[in-house]
């Protein structure tokens, strides 16, 4: 079964910044996966904190929510929840489609 794209409507003024931000989010997923392999919960917590604070600024409330969950899971050293959320983040990034429109 093919997954549906997630459509995000964004301000055209952010058209140059959003692709950069999504690339950053891909980097967050990679950093978390690497940190999981080393049980580096501090890095995971820090990355989740950055995601929590930045996603909404670019119109990606879902990334902020995932960041919040990752930050909490890292505090609890819950690798299963971290793995689940990083997979969710990776899927979200691949399935998101940004549509630029005036408010």
Residue 23 scores a pLDDT above 80: yes
Residues above pLDDT 90, as percent of the chain: 93
Average pLDDT over residues 28-37: 97
Q: What is the pLDDT of residue 102?
A: 79
Residue 96 scores a pLDDT above 90: yes
Residue 82 scores a pLDDT above 70: yes
Residue 103 scores a pLDDT above 80: no
Q: What is the pLDDT of residue 3?
A: 72
- Where do the structural domains in the chain lie, given as residue ranges? 39-97
73-82 long-range Cβ contacts below 8 angstroms, 24+ apart: 73/44, 73/48, 74/41, 74/42, 74/44, 74/45, 74/48, 75/41, 75/45, 77/39, 77/41, 79/36, 79/39, 82/32, 82/36, 82/44
DSSP state string for 8-27: EEE-GGGTTHHHHHHHHHHH
Beta-carbon count within 10 A of 83 CB: 14
């Amino acid at each position: 079964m093919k997954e549906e794209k997630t459509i995000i409507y964004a301000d055209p003024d952010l058209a140059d910044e959003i692709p950069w931000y999504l690339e950053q989010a891909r980097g967050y997923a990679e950093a978390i996966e690497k940190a999981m392999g080393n049980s580096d919960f501090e890095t995971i917590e820090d990355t989740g904190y950055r995601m929590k604070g930045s996603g909404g600024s670019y119109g990606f409330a879902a990334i902020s929510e995932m960041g919040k969950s990752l930050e909490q899971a890292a505090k609890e050293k819950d690798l299963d929840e971290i793995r689940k959320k990083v997979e969710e983040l990776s899927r979200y990034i691949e399935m998101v489609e940004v549509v630029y429109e005036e408010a």
